[in-house]
Structure formats: C-alpha cells, structure tokens
Amino acid sequence: MTPSLFRQCLGLAGLFLAVASCGPVPQAGGGIGGTGSVATVSSGPVTKFGSVFVSGTEYDNSRTIYCIDDDPCSSENKLKLGMVILVNGTVTENYSTGQPVTRVADTIIFEESVEGVVQSVAEDGLSLIVLGQVVHLDQKTIIDSSIPQQSIAELRPGEDHIEVSGFVVEDGHILATLIMMQTGTLHYEVQGTIKNHNATAHTFEIGALEVHYSSTTDISQMPPTSRTWDGLVVHVRGEQWSQGGPGPYSAQLTATRVTSLGLGVDNSEEAQVEGFILQVNAPGDFIVNNLRIQTTPSTVFEGGAISDLIFDTHVIVHGRLASGILQAEQISFEGNFELESNVTAIDSATRSLTLAGLSGMAVHIDNHTAIDGKGDLRTFEGITIGDHLKIHGRASGAGLLATELERSDPTSEVKVKGPLRSVSAPMLIIGGATINTSQIPNDRFIGIDGTVIGSSSFFQSLATGRKVSLRGTWTGSAVTWTSARLRT
C-alpha cells in the first residue's frame, strides 16, 4: 500500500482512529502445538527503542508505516521517547504455551495532546499552560533537546510554540510524557474532556478553553449534535486561537476537526492501553479515554487491587477487546507517589529502605519493582547508603511499595509527591512521613495552576487524600522544605 493510499484511508479521522480496515485483517494460522497470528492494538508512550517499546511492550518496527501528526504517512521513523502512540499490528503466539512469540507493528499513529503558544510557566517548573490547559511535569516527563537547556523555565510565554504528548488526567489537566518545540506547519491541537456542550451555539469547553465549531468543521467521527458531547474525550485541531474568556488563562479555539479518542477498533485478540481512569461505572468497570474496561474474576492485579480502580488512577491494562469493551486480563497500577532523596537506611530482611527527610515512610521493593540507574543498577542488593534515588510507588500498609526505582547523580534535593494521610497546619503526613511546612515562605505555596496562593489558601484547600508535592534541601541532618504545591 502506498503512503498516499494509506493516508486516504485514514482520512481526517485524527488521533487513535481505526487503521486496521485499510489493510488485510490478521488471520489465525498454524495448528495444535504450532503458531498463529492475531490482531493486536496498543496505546501508550514510547518507553524504549531498539525495536519500539510501548508502555514496556516490544514491537518489531522493521516494516512499520508511521503517521506522525498530519504529515503524510511513510516508512520514516520520527518517533521520540515519550510520544503517546497508537499501534496496530499482529502478534504471533505459540499455541502449545499460549505465550506471544513476536509482535509486529504494522502502523503507528501519533498526534499531540496539546500544541500551541505557551501562556505561562510556573515558577516552580512543575507546570505550564497552553490553550487553557494545565500541563504537569513529573519525574518521567522528557524535555526534548529542542527546548533551550531542556528546561521549561527557558520558555517564553506569548512567544514559544510547543508540542506536548501525554495523558488527559482530568478536566483541563494533562500529564506530559514529552515536551518539545513545535516543528512543521503551525497549528493548534488539544485533547481533553468536553463540558458545557452547546449544540445551538456550536461551542464546548475543555479546561479553560472554549472551542467553536461550524458547518465547515469536520465532526464526522463525533456523535450527532442532537446528543450531548459532554464527558467525551476528544482531540481538537484548529488553525486560529486567541486569549479571552473568564479567568487569567482562558482561551478560544476555532476548530477545523473534532474527533473522539479511542483504539479505533472494536475487536482485537490482544489489546493494551495506558492512561488515567476518567470515569467509574461500578467496581471493576471504568473508562479510560472513552474506552470501557471491565475486570473479570481472573483479572490479575499488580501494585493494587480492584478497590484501587478509582477516578484519576494511572493504569496499564492488558486484555482482549470484544465489541468495543476491553476485558482486562492484567491491570498494573502506576505509582501515585513520587519520591527523590538520599538513602539513609537499608533493611535487607524486609527489602526496604528509608530516605532522608522521609523517615516515617518505609519504601519496600519486591520482585516487580523496575530497578535501574547510574552504575548499571539492577537489583535491590546494589543499592547503598547515600545513593540518590528517584522512586515511583503506591501506598502499601504503613509505607510505600516501589514500582520503579532509579539511581541518579548525587544531589541534596528532596522531593515528595502523593496523597495526604492527614493535615493539621503547618504539619502534613504523606505516606507515613511527617513534614513541617512552617519554614516555607508564604510566596512558595503554589496552587494547582502554578500561581502563588499563600499558606492560608493552601491549607484551606487540603483534605485527606488530596495530592500535594513538596521540595526541599537535605543538609546532612535535616531537610529544609522550600515549596509546597497542590497537585491533580
């Protein structure tokens, strides 16, 4: 199939629409004890190269067709680490073991989560605003070398035009997996959940962005306007935007295309999706980017349980797609805690460690913890006192279970992000660690959009379970906390 024909089949469907119908449908083959190929579809960030890894799953990309943004599809690989992509392909299984032998990516699609002019950059360097969306950074966010000094602090509000790939977390909030300077033809894009849809006025809102559409806007992939679009996660593309509307970072966008997110197919023998839970229908029945996911009695949980499937939870789901519903065979929970500090104690018997400034929080490591970093770190036994670690994890008993652990260059920085266990100003308890915020200057208490809100407003916004992040400096005997921020 030529790139032009393939592009014609894609049409203007946008992000995550079906491409499998443009070519032959994979058929099972082989016999008992042999091998056979079936369809596979996957959505998630690029986590590694060599071939291409999507949320840790490897695909052979030696014959892949790439459709990057609205460029013509081709065999040229322009992928970058952190790009959230959609893969359609085939998986060959060994019938005698039921295990995959190889996965082959036939097509890979990428479009940005938000693209536009930087409206503001938070002083603490943890977020920025583009097209009325708060773009958050975490330890995994990759800042491309096209960004000066690979620091968002160097971006110029009102001037620099950037592209962001990531996940829709909640209304008006995106967790960035990759941030880079805009390249190619200048246009504007945004992903998010629709609210306040007005079919008469032809408007809807995403975060602080008001979107206008008209009879010339391609909405062919959307439900009829006689039905509300509220609650749908969409990708919007436009050529014109302006600041305006209620609030300091409100904006308006004239849409040329609006499409609904999804995997683009209703049936696939193997399916994988990574994202945040945006809606819960019932225990074990939830929505990620319009995709309904259901657990079964045989679903395997890693790093959590069915009771942890709540709004705003970051998950990776593997299973089988049937009639548009992903039947989950395995659900892995991405950590809702982030820690960065030096190791002060190690308990080999319990496979746990303690970090400077977070003495009340025991960090446990199990066989599922991904361990890597400086000095070719691969095992718990390779960790030593004084190592500076970056950790993602989940609450476990009185402490934390690490899902990922990385050893980095030595530094005195201490960071913690997670849900509050309790709060009584000026004290916070996060994951068992007690933090005294009395040393933090009033102008270093930051709101969710990156603006200064002061200590009083900060604590008025807090409740058990609310996520916050704090930064400080380790002096060798204690931590001096320097900033506190509300988080999604």
Model confidence at 26: pLDDT above 50: no
State the average pLDDT over residues 235-241. 96
Residue with tokens 């809702």: 336
C-alpha span between 137 and 156 (Å, rounded): 17
For the chain, what percent of residues have pLDDT higher than 90?
A: 77
- Tens digits of per-residue pLDDT, 99-132? 667 899 999 999 999 999 999 999 899 999 999 9
Return the CATH superfamily for domain 268-333.
Answer: Copper binding periplasmic protein CusF (2.40.50.320)
Torsion over CA of 54, 56, 61 and 66, rounded to 10 degrees? 10
* Averaged confidence pLDDT in the chain: 89
Model confidence at 488: pLDDT above 50: yes
Please count the other Cβ atoms lying within 10 Å of the Cβ belonging to residue 111.
23
Q: Two tokens at 68?
A: 């990057």
State the average pLDDT over residues 275-297. 97
Model confidence at 29: pLDDT above 60: no
C-alpha span between 256 and 185 (Å, rounded): 15
* Amino acid sitting at position 54: V
Model confidence at 2: pLDDT above 60: no
Q: Two tokens at 117?
A: 């002019």
For the chain, what percent of residues have pLDDT higher than 70?
A: 91
**Least reliable range by pLDDT among 90-104, 242-256, 317-331, 461-475:** 90-104
pTM above threshold 0.95:
no
- Residue 106's pLDDT is 96
97 falls in which pLDDT band (50, 70, 90)? low
State the average pLDDT over residues 278-293. 97
Report CA 299 to chain centroid distance, whole Å.
23
Report CA 378 to chain centroid distance, whole Å.
25
Query: Helix H segments across 45-189?
Result: none
* 16 closest CA partner among 278, 235, 267, 263: 263
- Residue 336's pLDDT is 84
Are the C-beta atoms of 228 and 248 separated by less than 8 Å? Answer: no
- Residue 207's pLDDT is 95
- Tens digits of per-residue pLDDT, 415-432? 999 999 999 999 999 988
State the average pLDDT over residues 210-226. 95
- Tens digits of per-residue pLDDT, 403-417? 899 999 989 999 999
Model confidence at 303: pLDDT above 90: no
398 falls in which pLDDT band (50, 70, 90)? low
Pairwise pLDDT comparison (25 vs 289), residue with the higher score? 289
268-333 and 337-486: identical CATH topology: yes
C-alpha span between 173 and 152 (Å, rounded): 17
48 to 36, 44, 275, 317, 392: CA distances (angstroms): 26, 12, 18, 19, 18
Burial class (CB in 10 A: 0-12, 13-18, 19+), 388: buried
- Residue 98's pLDDT is 61
State the average pLDDT over residues 19-43. 56
Give the total residue count for the chain: 488
Please report, for the chain, the start and end positions of each structural domain, with discontinuous segments joined by +.
1-260, 268-333, 337-486
Q: Two tokens at 236?
A: 């919007």
Model confidence at 21: pLDDT above 70: no
C-alpha span between 218 and 306 (Å, rounded): 39
Model confidence at 233: pLDDT above 70: yes
- Residue 22's pLDDT is 39
Task: Report whether CATH 2.10.10.90 matches the domain 337-486.
Answer: no
Are the C-beta atoms of 119 and 137 separated by less than 8 Å? Answer: no
Model confidence at 354: pLDDT above 70: yes
C-alpha span between 409 and 430 (Å, rounded): 25
Model confidence at 335: pLDDT above 70: yes
